[in-house]
Structure 1
Amino acid sequence: MKRGGPLEGVRVVELTKVWAGPYTGKQLAFLGAEVIRVESLGSLDVTRVYGVDDINNAPGFKAVNPQKLSVQIDMKTEAGIKLLLDLLAEADVVVENLRPGAVTRLGLGYEQVKAVNPDIVYVSMGMYGSEGPLSYQTGYAPCFAALGGLSSLVGYEGEAPTGMNIRYADSTFGTTAAFATTVALLHRRRTGEGQFIDVSAVESMTSMIGDAVMDFTLNGKVAACDGNRHAEMAPHGVFPCQDGEWISIAVTDNVAWQRLVNAMQAPELAEYASLADRKAREDELEARVSAWTSTQKAESLAEQLQQCGVAASKSLSSLDLIANQQLWLRRFYQQVSDQHGQSRSILGPSWKMSRMASVVDDAPALGQHNDYVLGEILGLTEQQQQELAAAGVTR
């Protein structure tokens, strides 16, 4: 089915597990690519099985695999590897985030795949990448965030780091790989050359804190936890409101500060006209803002501040997010159909563009697209498919 989008006509084969690798495929699918997950009953993704009875109705798997196809190929068999190489010969991109060295041992390394498809864009995702003294190590999102330096910055001033939401690491790593893939595809369109893309999770995380890294490199200064504060904005934080709710406020410049002073009806604070003044008295200012917000309703206060030009938002719970009409109107949430034709809501693409791809399908059932991949793409007859299934190669 034609879905439009800038990557319409691009075929991606996914040899991925858990979250970061599948998230790369998710972004590419949302851009219009045909993304084929290679799976097998004997080596199921943990997100298909963890805490559920139905491998085709696992929330974790569904969250990161909408608009993809699923084909069963057992990569532990010689026949399965041959079949997979045939599929890769028909692909534009392959994405893998298996354990270090696994694809090469299987006969699916870059040089081996390049031999059957010289202009393939081969995307390899590892904690430390595929080269260097630590490239043998494997890890998950908490490792990415910690080793990349982010976790050490998440916490309150004067206290030990508290860490961060682990999915930030996986989704950021996955998005980095997706971006690199699109750049490589553009390069291939211009030159006809494929590429090997080596993406490091740790390096991806470190790129998110370039200011802290450069401050240490140039000045020897080690960044410390500072809560919700911001070097170029003050006040900048989350403040208590009535009924146990909270509001985030970010004073972006001196004009916004004067507007906040007016909203607070606190003319005595106007003397802190510059950022330097406000940063020097930040504890005092935050206490004053908190005393004021604690007497207000978060939602109405956020609307009041937005109307007068101060960046503010009520801190939203999961229920608040789902009920937010603006997010629905902006198609942050979209409806897709599962393998039974039932409709469900998903988080849609996080972007708007003139050539949007339609997103219509839920995450696939295991092997849901065997007939299409094995029959239409690879040209196998029904009898050949039955023989492969009976031999355990395609299940």
Structure 2
Amino acid sequence: MTSHTRSVKYQRGGPLQGVRVVELTKVWAGPYAGKQLAYLGAEVIRIESEGSLDVTRVYGVKDINRAPGFQAVNPEKLSAQINMKSDKGINLILDLLKEADIVIENLRPGAIERLGLGYERVKEVNPAIVYTSMGMYGSEGPLAYQTGYAPCFVALGGVSALAGYESEPPTGINIRYADSTFGTAAAVATAAGYYHARRTGEGQFIDVSAVESMTSMIGDAVMDYTLNGHVRQADGNRHEDMAPHGVYPCQDQEWVCIAAGDDQQWQRLATATGIEGLAKDPRFSRLSDRKANETELDAILAEWTRDKAAADLALTLQQQGVAACKSFSSIDLISDHHLWAKGFYSDVNYPDGDSRPTTGPGWTMSRGAAIERGAPSLGQHNAYIFGEVLGLSEEEQAALSNEGVTK
């Protein structure tokens, strides 16, 4: 069984150093799963071709190697050009999978089998491989034939129905939230499968459903219906176990988020407002009281915050032990000194010589992987993958290129 001892060129540290991952993925969710594994130190190889470019490489840009969407989700990966429409290209991928620990695919239902790269075929060449398949409904069942993007599975999973203002129709949810959640679920499952394979020498087929991944986020709502027959509705920013829990208007059309997790936090908030009698108001003394009178409570807080600067107010409340934060715009996010100080952003280098920041992992580790390289240019690592990993001579590589196999 191959494991961390595998010889890879790019040694970056991290718990998955020495683990080789092959990506047969498109768009966002599949590549996002590979991104998480790359951030854990794995060597992640994207299979691409000039004749079938990922939409994130081409959408709204002229230079396929400088596409922001592609760069956002593919840092610290390698790129190999292989034409998957040719038999030689498929055989080349199978040869690469012999040298891999993990493969991730999120192609349209049935496509991977038609290519001859389904799990049963891959298992023949590498019985210990961890094979992760990502689909809207998974690979089995009466709906497995359906394909879809984030707006589809976030709605079908039930999340969109709960996103919206109280007493109004659902307004939906940011589509990238769906893709990244699905991708993260696949990465976690893949890491668990690899741990099993490393211990036992047995490969794994991991079947990840986008819809089920979304539903797992609202388990409380699902159980509420299962046990009580209650169908929850959108309720704005409210929280079952907190009151207040909302976003309140401030100066210059900005907003501040405020939450009180218990009665003590509420007392600190009520005192901080300086509103006479609020801390002793019987309508708000306990959580159950505040939930029963939440509309009135939100109105009082909204009136109090309206003439204040969001950032200053948030800082004042934080200093008094109240959970609060300015509602960030994109500019606020990339300029926040806390995120920079915590290493959430990493400066990465691109093949064209530029250095630009990218979002790093959502975790910290005592021995984390280095994050230094941005997303690869198309076919940037052909020589390494075909030469060093697969052992092809320069003449053999040139012949494959001339035949269009590696373009």
Shift of 1:243: 1.7
Match of 1:333 among 318, 331, 345: 345
2:218 is aligned to 209
Match of 2:190 among 171, 181, 196: 181
1:193-214 deviation line (CA, Å, top 9, x unaligned): 1100000000000000000000
CA contact 1:29–1:67 (8 Å) conserved in 2: yes
Q: Distance in 2 between matches of 1:394 and 1:320?
A: 43
Match of 1:162 among 171, 175, 189: 171
Q: TM-score, normalised by structure 1?
A: 0.99
1:133 is aligned to 142
- The one-letter amino acid of 1:354's match is S
Shift of 1:190: 1.5
SS of 2:277 mapped into structure 1: helix
Q: Distance in 2 between matches of 1:78 and 1:385?
A: 16
SS of 1:115 mapped into structure 2: helix
- The one-letter amino acid of 1:25's match is G
CA contact 1:123–1:198 (8 Å) conserved in 2: yes
Q: Distance in 2 between matches of 1:194 and 1:355?
A: 27
2:90 is aligned to 81
1:301 is aligned to 313
For 1:46-125, list aligned pairs within 5 A: 46-125=55-134
CA contact 1:235–1:285 (8 Å) conserved in 2: yes
CA contact 1:233–1:250 (8 Å) conserved in 2: yes
Question: Percent same amino acid among aligned pairs?
Answer: 67
Shift of 1:342: 1.9
CA contact 1:10–1:92 (8 Å) conserved in 2: yes
For 1:1-395, list aligned pairs within 5 A: 1-269=10-278, 270=280, 271=282, 272-395=284-407
CA contact 1:298–1:314 (8 Å) conserved in 2: yes
1:228-247 deviation line (CA, Å, top 9, x unaligned): 00110001100011121110
Structure 1 segments unaligned to the other structure (5+ residues): none
CA contact 1:10–1:33 (8 Å) conserved in 2: yes
Moved over 3 A (4+): none
Q: Distance in 1 between matches of 2:151 and 2:253?
A: 30
Structure 2 segments unaligned to the other structure (5+ residues): 1-9
Shift of 1:2: 1.2
CA contact 1:261–1:267 (8 Å) conserved in 2: no
- The one-letter amino acid of 2:331's match is L
Q: TM-score, normalised by structure 2?
A: 0.96
- The one-letter amino acid of 1:171's match is S
Q: Distance in 2 between matches of 1:243 and 1:339?
A: 41
- The one-letter amino acid of 2:78's match is L
SS of 1:335 mapped into structure 2: strand
Shift of 1:267: 4.4
Q: Distance in 1 between matches of 2:375 and 2:339?
A: 22
1:244-284 deviation line (CA, Å, top 9, x unaligned): 11100011100010001101122422232110100111111
Q: Distance in 2 between matches of 1:344 and 1:31?
A: 21
- The one-letter amino acid of 2:333's match is L
Q: Distance in 2 between matches of 1:128 and 1:390?
A: 40
SS of 2:14 mapped into structure 1: coil
Point out the more displaced range, 290-299 or 132-141.
290-299
- The one-letter amino acid of 2:181's match is T
RMSD: 0.7
Q: Distance in 2 between matches of 1:189 and 1:322?
A: 39
Shift of 1:185: 1.0
- The one-letter amino acid of 1:255's match is Q
Q: Distance in 1 between matches of 2:51 and 2:352?
A: 24
Q: Distance in 2 between matches of 1:2 and 1:105?
A: 35
